[in-house]
Amino acid sequence: MTGFLGQAYIWFLIIHILSIITWMAGLFYLPRLFVYHAQANATGEPAETFKVMERRLLKAIMNPSMIIAWVFGIALALHIGAFAQGWFHVKLLLVIVMSALHMAMGKWRKDFEANQNKHGHKFYRVINEIPTAILVVIVILVKLKPF
């Protein structure tokens, strides 16, 4: 690649992939914590433990990972001219959807923290599957570039 990143391209790609891995791990795990939290009594030691786990996961792992994935992903997209390619528009839309889901999870975490959860464990079980479906489509788009 001879774009503006030059020799740094491979390192941008490595950082982007690592940040996606950690972001996705959080997107898979946080709804699972919500499932268990929704099944627990709203007060008491288990609920307080879940609150700490959820807050740390979101703030220390998921938020930084999402930001890094976006920053390095945009740089990589500019480097390869992806904004002119159809597959990338679909990928970008899916990443926006995933980011919106991330933000929704942040809202739900705050609801749990305030003991104001509005959803049952079945809701979070369904939510837990969405990042997987999005990830599968994104990987297919990135590797096949079908249009």
CA dist., res. 38 & res. 68, Å (int):
30
CA dist., res. 135 & res. 137, Å (int):
5
SS3 per-residue string spanning 65-112? HHHHHHHHHHHHHHHHCHHHCHHHHHHHHHHHHHHHHHHHHHHHHHHH
CA dist., res. 141 & res. 115, Å (int):
40
* Phi–psi pair at 87, nearest 5 degrees: -60, -35
Which residue positions form the known binding site for heme?
A: 16, 91
Which residue positions form the known binding site?
A: 16, 91
Assigned token pair, 32: 């699972």
What is the 8-class DSSP label of residue 146? -
